Amino acid sequence: MSWLDAAPAAVLCGALLILPGLPLTHLLGLRRLAMVALAPVVVVALVTVTAIVAAELGIRWSLPLVLLVFAGSAVVAGCVVLPLRRRLPQPAPGDGLPVVAAAAGGLVVALALGALTVRAAIGSPEELVKTDDSSFHYNAVTNILNSGVASTFRIDTLGVPGRVRGFYPAAWHDLGSLLAMLTGGSVPATANILSVTIALVVWPLGCVLLMRQLAGPDRQALALAGLLSVAFGAFPWELLGWGILWPNLLGLSLVPAGVAVVMSMAGLAREDVIGRGRAFLLAPVALTAIAIAHPNAVVSLAAITLPAIVVALARAAARRYRAGRRPQAALFAAPIVLAAPAYWLVVVRLGVFAGPMTADSPPFESPSQALGEVLTGATNHHGAGWVLAGLVIVGAVSCFRQRSRRWLVAGHALSGGLYVLAAGVPGASRRIFTGFWYTDSHRLAAMLPVTGVPLVVIGVLAVVSAARAGLAPDGVLRRLRLWPPAAAVVVVIALLLATGGLHHADHRDRVLAAYPKAAPLVTPDEYALFTRIGRRTEPGTIVAQMPYNGSPTVMALTRRQVLFPQLNLGRLTTDQVYLAQHLNQAASDPRVCEIVNRLQVRYLLTNDFARGNRWDGTAYPAPSAGFRQIDQGGSFRLYRVSPCDKAADSR
């Protein structure tokens, strides 16, 4: 399958992420840009909540179920809103068509540039990712398709019999399962298409909405925000190639829209396109969507908007104090005063977040080097983006001269400070602040573009304004009546030339890290064998294998359950442990066949991959072991666990 062949599926993916939410955002009173940009937030929230409720009620997860829930939600909202439309606030004013067209133009250019990067890095939508976490994400989607259960509290069993349930943010996997149902494509192709669409559609829409809240209906600002949303390597490109962190990608892609909502709540938006009342209604929806996409994305949202929230609370307290309403003033001031002690109590004293806080990635550079990387956009030792870095600094200076925008600079500084702590400061105490992100410099660097995109847009506009004033202080340019669209085209071309197509090569290389061409996850012959396993095995049977040789992808390619569907072995069952060590001794070990027949483990897939003693049972069986080889591809061989067939027949 080529990317051109996948275009219809990509269009369907974009429709899945936006269209179901439009009736609800429209009924809420949002129009045009805000209506479209906030639709993915509503979609993610409603999809994930539906998955949780359906699992608790024993209802099978399906595309018709989700469509019915969206239709029912729209009908209920309409029944509430329409009779009360005269009493409710008027819909938020929609921007005029020239403003919408400018925003759409920037988004289209960003989509085109992003598509070129994706095509250069990922040869085919069906190309397999070679990272530690990819098998989990593939097989979580597959498990949803097999089991009909998509709850965030159940998916991490991955279909392994007897495995204890736990929490795992399932929004990305829920959407992936729906897209697979809608298109009929393979799980690996679905994963690639979904993640690329999130990066090139959902994220840019959120960036444009955030810029709209900052700059008002400024056509140049909105067009630039769309274009420059794909200019930073740290996000979205880094998370398309490192980890692989697809749930983080979804969560952080929703954060700009969440920041836009917070701006409305805080009264910091310019010509607010959401409205304060609607923002308070949207806030729990946005928090639900972002939290179930990935919990640390909510903390990212909190860190970025903390200065805005402090400003809003301080202003509210000051107004009430001057009006003589001191109890109310104290109520608004209390969160500012109590925030630090409450944080210490919850995070340090009670250890509520002890799980992620225990994870640690050691620093790999000095604090000054980490700070330099933040300032130059060279996080995690990538190449510096000097043009964008300079424009971010210009934008920060411009914002700092305007009191209403200083919070944006402070939010950017907080993100940068967290990165410096993770990358350059030794000691366990830093995890008090960085532990929400597992003290992972890649996750923390990905926060910087949330504020970096609007800062660089403001920086471009400041440079253009200064250039125009310097070149024509007497109004020459005004008398020449330079056509604004022509000026915008000149700016865009200059940016593309100065940054090498918005750092196309750097972005390609970041994504290529997960899709290596010289040493792919499996060879073409092995890939062909993996796809044949669906025909060689019966539904309901389990294929045993060891997880480090690429074989977990069998489950994603064929929807056949594998015994070890991921690389994280922290919660193996006793049955898994025993078979990993003794499966190929089935002819001489009765306990092996007891487990095999109870779990329906009928096949062994193995190759010559180096293994420790833990995996001796999944090595090539001896000729005398009684296993029957039924297929082969590359170094892999597929065997029937024949000795246990006899044991099953004798019972």
Q: How many CB atoms lie within 10 A of CB 307?
A: 19
pTM for the full predicted model: 0.93
Q: What is the pLDDT of residue 359?
A: 79
Confidence of residue 498 (pLDDT cuts 50, 70, 90): confident
DSSP 482: -
DSSP 587: T
How does 601-638 read in b/e, with b if 16+ C-beta sit within 10 Å? bbbbbbbebebeeebebbbbbeeebbbeeebebbbbbb
Average pLDDT on 505-510 reads 92
d(CA 545, CA 435) in angstroms, rounded, equals 34
SS3 134: helix
Count of H helices and E strands in the chain?
Answer: 30, 5
Strand-pairing partners, residue 545, are none
Question: pLDDT tens across 320-374, in order?
Answer: 888 888 888 899 889 888 988 998 898 888 888 877 888 778 899 999 999 999 9
CA atoms within 13 A on the CB side of 574: 2
Question: pLDDT tens across 254-301, in order?
Answer: 999 999 999 999 999 998 899 888 899 999 999 999 999 999 999 999
Confidence of residue 478 (pLDDT cuts 50, 70, 90): low
Q: How many CB atoms lie within 10 A of CB 567?
A: 14
Q: What is the pLDDT of residue 480?
A: 47
| Cα 332-338-343 angle, rounded to 5 deg | 130
Two structure tokens written together for 517: 């061409």
| CA nearest neighbour of 307 among 226, 408, 165 | 408
Question: pLDDT tens across 530-551, in order?
Answer: 999 999 999 999 999 999 889 9
SS3 516: coil
Strand-pairing partners, residue 601, are 542
Question: Greatest CA separation found in the chain?
Answer: 100
Helix residue ranges, H only, 82-167 = 97-121, 134-147
